[in-house]
Amino acid sequence: MYQTIYHRASSVDEAVSLFGKSSEAKFLAGGQTLLPVMKQRLASPSDVIDLGKIKELQGVELSGDVLTIKAGTTYFDIMQNADVKKVIPAIAYLTSVLGDPAVRYRGTIGGSIANNDPAADYPAALLALGATVKTNKRSISADDFFQGLFTTALEDGEIITAVSFPVPAKAGYEKMRHPASRFALTGVFVAQTKSGEIRVAATGASQSGVMRVPAIEAALKGNWSPSAIDGVSISASNLLADIHGTAEYRANLIKVMAQRAVAAAG
């Protein structure tokens, strides 16, 4: 790791002010992505500003039909949370198959979506559930937030404070886990909103990061069942290909994972 200066912020305002005083600062949430990248010397921030002890970034709130998870809430706390398990159990499940127990104690939802790894799990949940990302400056819909590989709508020095999920009628997530990294080789989140809209998002599949899957959304409209997806054909163009799976393999995984996710959603 290159030299860096470590700061611990005690509030969002203090973190923003520290950022403004640094030349090339990075915010540090759980550190489960940023630190490995810094250790590989692929990132060399002049300063790291630790958000981990900011109380206003911790916790889960359920208010009517909106579940709000504050950005610094760890995966462990999310998967244990009674409100999450009650109103969107698919999020609790997604979190339980993400990383490993030690990673889940440290990693946070805000860190995951700010990084927007093309194989991360949370972006699929946000996109399929039509979530809203709250920052210290504004609210951004998930549709606008994710903008391609490791790219988001966040501006320099902008901090995610929370994610709000409308409670869906039904939701499910399934993924083919990479056995070493536990990232999604391909994962699909399916959701039916309370107003009947169907939204399906796939992660780990596209060269442009998390994406909606309109063909599967159309197939599920009026027939919410795994078999409704039998006849859908997913194009392999613009899908990721690597030593773990070809684009054609991932195209098929989108379909199979979507079917399993619908079955899980019930």
Least Cα distance to 88 among 201, 185, 193, 176 occurs for 193
The full DSSP string for 96-153 is: HTSS-HHHHHH-BHHHHHHHT-TT-SHHHHHHHHT-EEEESS-EEEHHHHB-STT-BS
Given phi > 0 = left and psi -120 to 50 = alpha, else beta, which region is 59?
A: left
Q: Judged by CB under 8 A, does residue 105 bind another protein?
A: yes
Contact between 2 and another protein by CB under 8 A: the answer reads: yes
Q: Is 73 a residue that touches another protein (CB under 8 A)? A: no
Contact present, 254 and 216 (Cβ < 8 Å): yes
Contact mark string toward another protein, 155..194, x via CB under 8 A: -------------------------xxx------------
Residue placing its CB nearer to another protein in the complex, 28 or 160? 28
Residues 14-53 that bind another protein (CB under 8 A): 28, 31-32, 35-36, 38-39, 48, 50, 52
Q: Report in angstroms how near the CB of residue 105 gets to another protein at its nearest.
A: 5
CA distance 197 to 56: 33
85 scored as a contact of another protein (CB under 8 A):
no
Answer yes or no whether residue 55 interacts with another protein by CB under 8 A. Answer: no
User: Measuring CA to CA, which residue among 176, 243, 240, 168 is closest to residue 207?
Assistant: 240
Does position 1 bind another protein by CB under 8 A? yes
Give the residues lining the site for another protein (CB under 8 A).
1-6, 8, 28, 31-32, 35-36, 38-39, 48, 50, 52, 76, 99-103, 105-106, 180-182
